[in-house]
Structure 1
């Protein structure tokens, strides 16, 4: 069986460098070898917030980010969650396969709850991993490029696929997570990099905005720059970021900076990031919103055809 890739993002704000090195780089490589579905998970925005915010604007910006980094709509099906009602109908039978205790102890859900902007945690939050299972399995996804923090969700998907097949007969493949080979980037404040926490460098940031963000990054008072992830995590993080953008080892960069201190480290990182983002910014400036909307409409149509076929298969297996 040929692999099918399912991946995507929630439209809660601009994509950042953590997204690029964590999953987008994998997508760019895989789009040349496998059928790929890229989900704009707009329904999932309300899992951890009371209002979806500037949802239409965020969807457009996300589309532009995808196209600017190099996702090819001729090879990739980009679609919107809310445009595929059949996909969401898979949630109910899938929820019947997972216990409340299994959902409650999911570490990614716990982290999302801790950083939720809701006044009270909704029941939808606990269904989030199963919702992602429906996203992956509707297209018979077999490979899921994810960051390390999303591994527990893929495990829930594997659990759902196995239990559905055991109960109703073989319908779904059991997908595998695909981790990026790049090291995990932390936020500029030393915490988890997240668009909602304001500690990331957006792919759409200007050169001046990028420079300002890196100037404000947390470091330490030791003038000698060394790469030590345990004792100097903030310095190591900037070295890692510069190394990823330059295609060089962070230890070698640290040796070059030497006693240049935090100012030299931030200057090097700023130059590396801006050089890396330059072609992405150029492609983004050439795109139009009308073109992006046309690409999304075509992707929605293709994804819905796949979802209708899968839902029919599920109903038949369940004898409905």
Structure 2
């Protein structure tokens, strides 16, 4: 079984001003690391050349923090990339120094564990998700979202700005990912129970089911339901929370799997295809990436109804809520 959920090979999105801060920061660090390794320099020798600590170079290459302009400019002067690479680095640095779209207006309602996901999902060329309990946020209607958001807040917050702010954030996220001119190819897998788990009134549920049915006809969106009678839905998949694999294409950011639990999430990055030391066993984090990816593959391959059957299931749900 292939470990690529979407085997169509596509180039990554070109680096430019439309890149997100998070994506630009990661690609900047990755490019610096490749330039350093190609030049034969170690992190220690590069740090000595630009008069910074080794940890500063490490943080730059791993994108742990927002880079400092003077450090990046000094590194570029030492590594002496060609003109095209120098221009790309300048664009990436400029974007990496700007805030993310959610960091001002939506900072209070965006938990830290979501920052990386929200900063990268619009850059993906393919997204595969699995949700156990709810319609995924990217496909929620405003009324469905409002019910989910309200039930997660204290009653005292219902009359304040919190609900509207969270709704606006969710809508902006949907527009940035699915409303862009070249949206990613998306496979949305949901547990069959989502069809019957009411969120709000029958009218809210009907509108949500109609919207899912409409979205399922789009060429870049596939919706599939995990059948409750399948064995995979009764073991590992049933114990999982929300999961997603993001793929960025050839020459782009490293793919990763996002696994969300209650008020926390883990990110597992795809291992490099060319390990520095092939004799060494994969790290636990690399094993975790493969393990979570294989679970997504099993859910899709063994537990899901076909796209056609899933559309028929939506048709039945629409009738039930009418």
Highest RCO, 1 vs 2 (Cα 8 Å, sep ≥ 6): 1
Give the TM-score normalised by structure 2. 0.30
The structure where helix makes up a greater share of residues is 1
Output the TM-score relative to the length of structure 1: 0.30
